[in-house]
Amino acid sequence: MGVLAHRLDHDGGAGALTLLATGALIAGRVRSGVPRGRAWRWSLAEAAMVLGTVPWVWMILTPVRVPEGTVLVYLVPLSDLRVQLAEPLPWVVVQVGGNLAVFFALGAGAAVRFAALASPLRLLMLGAGCSLAVELIQFGFIGGRVFSVDDVLVNAVGCLLGGLLTHRWWARRATPSSRPGPTLDHAQDRPTCLASGRMRAQDTPVCRASRTILQGRAAAGR
Domain boundaries, the chain: 44-64+71-169, 182-220
pLDDT, position 6: 47
The reply to whether the predicted model has a pTM over 0.75 is: no
Give CA–CA dist 36/30, Å, rounded.
6
User: Regarding beta strands 147-148 and 182-185, do their DSSP bridges make them parallel or antiparallel, or are they unpaired?
Assistant: unpaired
If phi > 0 it is left, if psi is from -120 to 50 it is alpha, else beta; for residue 14 that is: alpha
Q: Which residues pair with 147 in a beta bridge?
A: 73
pLDDT value of position 66: 87
Per-residue pLDDT, 17: 81
Tell me which DSSP letter residue 169 carries.
G
pLDDT digits (tens, 9 = 90+) for 36-70: 999 999 999 999 999 999 999 999 999 999 888 88
Terminal Cα-to-Cα distance of the chain (whole angstroms): 97
Assign 218 to helix, strand or coil: helix
Residues of the chain with pLDDT under 70: 1-15, 174-211, 214, 216-222
* Predicted local distance difference test score (pLDDT) of residue 187: 41
